[in-house]
Chain A
């Protein structure tokens, strides 16, 4: 029975020829909530990509059954331990080859895994795209179809729509200078091509080069803004780290305003990590308490420490907590090395007790000032929140401040545009004729269509008719 399975792949390849040629990826569970996040892939390259990421060969395991795996990115970097399940075409949600990768419920991990899938050739799914493919492949029944219709209607009629439009509008506005430049460059190119027998100024190769490099600067800045921007959607993860018994769990409780973590005086009480969410200046913050960073004997605790490291690696900011009522010791320094290369703040906790350590050790050499708090009394927590907001909040960068690229799909769109512009630069360098440059620029415009709206031929033609005296 098992030996029949590879055949599914063979037939599926054939189908892909006249079907959707891309493999799409997206989280199947809502961002930031739940114990488990599921990443779903669908399309012709699903199995090779999932196999690369999980090390599980779909033809060696039963279909539609969960298999334990270690999830890695394309470079072999470990993301998480999880589960994978394969649904060979056509018996899947979309009717294509589908794989689902189950990860721990951490948005950072999911984002990382999705990015890894993209690096291996998948593209982020458009909203409703899994469902769309399911329709096109005749996989969705009537009830499901209605459910989807309801969902879409809810989005278009409800409050969700307003939020969505705002978000979209913001992005469109931010990208609009980029779009404007693309349209104007296309206008020049198309005028030179379609109206070369009219008496109009023709665009030179050098002009194109110059304009494309300006455009690339813009795409580059957009891409940079992503790292910050995505926090608005998925929130930022703030890890609380430090050696055992410096008051991390109490700090979490203080910040969350609730008794989430078990607080005891026994070092190593927090073996797994606990988390909670607050909103800080509009950014949803996921605060994650980690197990104390120390070489532990207990295998359970050791696992906890391993997970702590993982969280710190994926966090947007780490609060490194020191016990200000005792001198810094070797353990602190060792633990600090785990966070030193990551964005972090140093906290001197237990200000309610007589201070011993001023954190001098962590000052200087360009390092940010330490923040003094008392998790127990709440002293200094306001200053801490401001410090966090300063670190995670919007930059002065206009693009960023107005509308950060918040979604992986936006990032992909801009990245695709950037790649197409790169090709245009190269083509200009090789002195290829205008037509090829125009093809690349159009592709860049096309990539951005989702953020900016289509750039229709009519728009380019109108711009030509406005700007040039056309017609003999």
Chain B
């Protein structure tokens, strides 16, 4: 087939229009790069292939971080969300997370419109068959129509589309997602370029017809009132909010499931890709936790203009007849009709140890991977990688150093470090327990952690940056007031504290000292000191955290600082891990596979011992000396 070379060369070519691809393309274009986004189906840009929700535990943090950098996900869900909730509010300030139900169609349409209205960003429908590379550098992509789009950088955000294979019972068929073409050739092109490619599995629930659900037999669950937005740039949510509904499986459901196991692709060995342990199918839950009498099912609306419901909790790849039988045993779903069956999907991924922390591949220069191709799962994980890959592709075009994120700085840093250091053995999802400096990585301070970077790279909008600076200044002045002010004798604050059930306040007691008492809130102090009325509630509650949990926060900061030194000891790009003197074969193999960029990263590779790290330090030092000696 003769190749038509498209006349325009782009700075950045993004393959895929999902949550990673959208963020990547927007970031690159907003940073001034001419950007092309290619998608198999232009109607599915920003589509939520699985549950119609954004955020959740640890995922809400990622959304806030994307937003703090200048990404789109937070604003998009704020504009299209139909139920907002703060999760884990009683578990502590840093593990509190936001989650929102989205109107799935509105979400996708708004995202598409944002892409279309972004200057320098072209969206085209095309099936990419191969990465075009010369001399170890990516130079563009070739499509199934024989078109070559040239790009200085190429970003692959292919989701589940690489050799996607959908399973429903023992029936299976190639598809990128139920109803979409798969990309059958691209992963072969990656293998030819030298990548090692693996196979993962994920799944989704059936979608139900709402008019056949008896909601009176379920328990409604409402969101927070007022709803709290994700984006630091938004103050309120105006869209009317709706309810979700809770129901449960029962012994009859489990019986129905067991009757179909012999025709389950999971249990009959048809599926070989590895699925996520944290998101098991209902058949998996019933088999592995046979003692559990019931599992909960959340009925989540797919949108305001559709009757479809997403039954969260019953992801399945059982045969269609079993899906019908099983669902109709559930209270409220006795007469339910399935609109679309649940299914499992296997797809190719490219082990992320083949990436450096900028998300550029080690094998092919100027090629970046983001999202499920890296073995992750989740819109938020994908979006976070998309922003980073988009920023770093743009930086490459601009001839600038990549932007990297520390584990102590952002969940984004934890995510990427885990991927490039440990690889993906199963679809990777973020959990707060993955972050060792969890108290530092809060939703409330994502802007303090990242907005300076978002501004520096030219991604965060100017007005957002100004708002951020004002907030940061307000916070530091409030904290210094709290640290230096004392309660004068007869001050109304003293009485207010006592009335709130606190011990008597001696005159001269510091505000900060008072605030560290469990029964005293910053709001109480602010309400009783007119000088503090000018601070926004957001700033007040953040100052409260910082002062109240000062000891804990400071300890983690100290720890983070200690470890940062190791991150700063870098290996040169051509460091010969193969020939480091004294390493065991096992450790050497691990180092060669990951090729860590710093001593810090080397230390985190499972199996790399402190003695091995000492040897690496010696080798580094010797290398430096040798370089110096040779000039």
Stretch at the interface among B193-201, B259-267, B328-336, B618-626: B618-626
Tell me, rounded to whole Å, the shortest Cβ–Cβ distance linking A464 to chain B. 8
Q: Is B58 in contact with chain A by the CB < 8 A criterion? A: yes
Given known contacts A470-B277, A470-B278, A472-B312, is B582 in contact with A193 (CB within 8 Å)?
Answer: no
Report 8 cross-chain contacts, Cβ distance below 8 Å, ordered by A residue.
A127-B610, A142-B622, A156-B584, A199-B295, A435-B94, A435-B95, A457-B433, A469-B280
Contact of A194 among B58, B280, B555, B569 (CB under 8 A): B58
Interface size band for B = 35 or more
Given known contacts A126-B610, A434-B92, A457-B431, is B562 in contact with A149 (CB within 8 Å)?
Answer: no
Q: Is A190 in contact with B618, judged by CB distance below 8 angstroms?
A: no
Residues of A within 8 A of B434 (CB): 457, 461
Stretch at the interface among B285-293, B316-324, B494-502: B285-293
Residues of A within 8 A of B547 (CB): none
Given known contacts A190-B433, A193-B92, is B614 in contact with A456 (CB within 8 Å)?
Answer: no
Q: Is A152 in contact with B615, judged by CB distance below 8 angstroms?
A: yes
Complex Cα–Cα for A436 and B297 (A): 31
Max chain B CB contacts within 10 Å: which of A193, A443, A456?
A: A193
Residues of B within 8 A of A465 (CB): 277-278
Q: Is B374 in contact with chain A by the CB < 8 A criterion? A: no
Interface bits B429-464 vs A (CB < 8 Å: 1, else 0): 001111010110000000000000000000000000
Residues of B within 8 A of A295 (CB): none
Q: Is A274 in contact with chain B by the CB < 8 A criterion? A: no
Interface bits B583-617 vs A (CB < 8 Å: 1, else 0): 01000000000000000000000100011001101
Q: Is A434 in contact with B610, judged by CB distance below 8 angstroms?
A: no
Q: Is B581 in contact with chain A by the CB < 8 A criterion? A: yes
Max chain A CB contacts within 10 Å: which of B285, B431, B621?
A: B621
Given contacts A194-B57, A462-B277, A465-B278, 12 further A-B contacts (CB under 8 A): A18-B561, A20-B565, A132-B617, A148-B618, A152-B615, A194-B95, A195-B57, A199-B296, A430-B518, A435-B438, A436-B552, A469-B289
Complex Cα–Cα for A396 and B99 (A): 55
Residues of B within 8 A of A197 (CB): 56-57, 87
Q: Is A431 in contact with chain B by the CB < 8 A criterion? A: yes
Complex Cα–Cα for A195 and B57 (A): 8
Interface bits A16-47 vs B (CB < 8 Å: 1, else 0): 00111110000000000000000000000000
Q: Is A365 in contact with chain B by the CB < 8 A criterion? A: no
Q: Is A469 in contact with B569, judged by CB distance below 8 angstroms?
A: no
Complex Cα–Cα for A442 and B618 (A): 31
Complex Cα–Cα for A433 and B315 (A): 33
A22 (CB) vs chain B CBs: closest residue? B562
B90 (CB) vs chain A CBs: closest residue? A433
Interface members, chain B 486-524 (any A CB < 8 Å): 518
Q: Is B621 in contact with A135, judged by CB distance below 8 angstroms?
A: yes
Tell me, rounded to whole Å, the shortest Cβ–Cβ distance linking A115 to chain B. 23
Contact of A436 among B296, B422, B549 (CB under 8 A): B549
Complex Cα–Cα for A149 and B616 (A): 9
Max chain B CB contacts within 10 Å: which of A140, A195, A432, A469?
A: A469
Q: Is A145 in contact with B558, judged by CB distance below 8 angstroms?
A: no
Interface bits A425-462 vs B (CB < 8 Å: 1, else 0): 00000111111101100110000000000001110111
Residues of A within 8 A of B565 (CB): 18-20, 136
Q: Is A461 in contact with B431, judged by CB distance below 8 angstroms?
A: yes
- CB within 8 Å of B: which residues of A? 18-22, 126-128, 131-132, 135-136, 140-142, 145-146, 148-149, 152-153, 155-156, 190, 192-197, 199, 430-436, 438-439, 442-443, 456-458, 460-462, 465, 469-472
Residues of B within 8 A of A196 (CB): 57, 87-88, 91
Is chain A's interface secondary structure helix, strand, loop, or mixed overall?
A: helix
Q: Is B277 in contact with A194, judged by CB distance below 8 angstroms?
A: no
Residues of A within 8 A of B614 (CB): 128, 131-132, 148, 152
Q: Is B581 in contact with A431, judged by CB distance below 8 angstroms?
A: no
Q: Is A439 in contact with B439, judged by CB distance below 8 angstroms?
A: yes
Given known contacts A199-B295, A436-B549, is B621 in contact with A145 (CB within 8 Å)?
Answer: yes
Residues of A within 8 A of B439 (CB): 435-436, 439
Residues of A within 8 A of B92 (CB): 193, 432-436
Residues of A within 8 A of B411 (CB): none
Q: Is B93 in contact with chain A by the CB < 8 A criterion? A: yes
Q: Is B528 in contact with chain A by the CB < 8 A criterion? A: no
Complex Cα–Cα for A460 and B432 (A): 12
Residues of A within 8 A of B172 (CB): none
Residues of A within 8 A of B56 (CB): 197
Q: Is A434 in contact with B562, judged by CB distance below 8 angstroms?
A: no
Complex Cα–Cα for A13 and B119 (A): 50
Shortest 5 CB-CB contacts between residues of A and residues of B: A435-B92, A433-B92, A469-B289, A472-B313, A153-B582
Q: Is B556 in contact with chain A by the CB < 8 A criterion? A: yes
Complex Cα–Cα for A141 and B562 (A): 24
Residues of B within 8 A of A136 (CB): 565, 569, 617
Contact of B562 among A21, A148, A436, A470 (CB under 8 A): A21
Residues of B within 8 A of A436 (CB): 92, 439, 549, 552
Complex Cα–Cα for A190 and B285 (A): 20
Q: Is B95 in contact with A193, judged by CB distance below 8 angstroms?
A: yes
